[in-house]
Structure 1
Amino acid sequence: MTTPPTPTGPTAPTVPPMPSAPPTIPPQTPPAPAIAGPVVDEWWRKTGPVVHTPVPLGGDQGLAEPSFEAAAQAFWAPFGQILTQQVPHIAEQVGQQVNLLLTETEAQRAAREQVRYEAVRDAQRAMRDTQLAAAGETAQQRAERHRIEDALDPGHRRDDLVGMVDLLAERIGETPEERAERRQAEHELDRQRARAREDAQRAAQGETPEQRTRRHHQQRLADQREARTRARRQRRRAARTAGPSERTRRFRRWCVLTAISATGGYATGLVSLITPGGPYVGLLVATFGWALDLQVRDRGRQRVSEVTGPWPLITLVALRIPVASGFTVALGLGPVLTALPLFN
């Protein structure tokens, strides 16, 4: 009888026998310091041969944790050093500024701020000069650029609350004459800045120095004519503020000149020419003549009584003949001129 073969397969792992004594820490050199309490916290784990053995992180050195106060002191030490060095300096600067603001006058403050502004402006200009000189700018181009920058420089003006209060006090306290002078100065400054911008644009477009000089000469002549016109208007405006006696004299002068113009119109036959048309034709002729008269007299800014000199008076009388003739026909004063002994 044959015996069946025994099946072969993987053998089960052998389980080590239970130790007779718990594991201990191997000997250390030098010996570790004595620790209060047992070395092993538990005798044996039922789930397996795992033993919890507390070992210090530093090897054979003891565990020493830093305190919270020491960590906070180490963290704030750099800040304290910086504050110790900077606080006295900041306090000194603030004290100097407060003392300066309390003791200096308005003129001293303006002069100090102007000096500071000019220093910053000069430093910026020097930096631009260095950069443009490295780029190939010539001395003539630099001088022209400095002239344009000076014309475009707005000047120093405070943009804080103090500057606004100063500007408001200046505007409230100025007289009409000062206001007129300020507006004139602002107008002149704006014109200079506009011409400086125009010079820069034309130079970029290829304008030569000779062309720029000729254009500046023409602008100077135009400025002189404008200044003469402005002065003449100012004199007329001042003359209009005269007393009643001056106004009476001007009215009499206007009547005399108008009568002379009407007489000239009757002598030239203009009154006889427009009389058949009636009053409406006379008003129409007077309107056209008055428009021409106003255009010649600087659009009415120069009064009839303000014209002086022989030739200006003759020109005025000749130009006012249509006006006077039209009024004569419209008012029916033709027979009065006929009755004058000059035409008998």
Structure 2
Amino acid sequence: MSNNLQSLIYSNEGGDKPTLSVLDQLLVPHEKTYIKIPDVEAAWSVIRTMQIRGAPLIAIVACLGLSVDLATNPKTLAELEPLSTKQEVIDYVIKKMDYLRTSRPTAVNLFNAMDELTGAIQAAGESKADVIKTVISHAEFMLERDVSDNKAIGDNGAKDILDNLKDRSKVRMATICNTGSLATAAYGTALGVARSLHAMDKLESIFCLETRPYNQGSRLTAFEIMEEKMPNGTLICDSAIAALMRTKGIDACVAGADRVCANGDTANKIGTYMLALCAKAHGIPFYIAAPFTTLDTKLANGDLIEIEERPAAEMIDTSKAPTTMPVWNPAFDVTPAAYITGIITEKGVIRKGEDGTFDIAGFIAKHS
């Protein structure tokens, strides 16, 4: 994997002085500038402003940013000084987690990561140092796990697509938004599937939708495809996907996810629902690729997902529309489970049962 695709740079050589910088993705591909993250406020800001994005990466940056804050931020160290009991320290850390939870609402990975970290510190030793060390060590574990999980997602997805490929030896794939190394700690989810197919010499071509209005596909995915030298990488307008399917042919569509509900309904970047509808109309398999932590059985269906709405300026500025024109700018949409062929995770591919529905809860119970 190219060093050009590092979404973050984390180090902790001494074991107690972690440092974190993240790639400013608003400047990619024209600049590669890293932003230092010295505290939770900086972590919150880069998540909120979408200087970093992608559900897995949001969770990792929040956890690592908390680690840096607790270990090195002078203001935090001063506030921790008078705290004497383990519960006081835990309560203090949880307040910082609650703040990080407010950065962006739709991606469940962030909330799951905070819950997991809460469980870890509650099981930590009794001293203040024990709690802080546990935050750091568990955040580092989550960073390593993200990379290995993404590779497993890529391999599982590639195998499933190839097993169901008809009359072809190589795959023509389409994807939306950015789900590669820049959306995760490394490797990627949906784009990780393309990366695995490429490594197997089974990727014939890959088409990425530009992903209006924020252009994560044209700014980020196109950049990754070129950096990785994937074959026949092509950028298309979002509205060109139906014509592409009809005239050039696609074997599989793979998208990421910010949340997968108990029935399989999936929230992802705006335009994913459109891609799934086009795939269904053309008889093309449509997959979701996401880590196990994206599965959310607390929500029965996609109607219950809180959809983030972004500022009007994001659309006005990129489309050069009249500045006073009213705007509806949802960051995500929900793809009903009926249009999803399979949900690719690091623990395997979730497929529909004989009744035509996904058993997400059963899959979680089996693999937890």
TM-score by length of 1: 0.20
Higher relative contact order (CA 8 A, sep 6+): 2
Higher share of residues assigned helix: 1
User: Rg bigger for which structure?
Assistant: 1
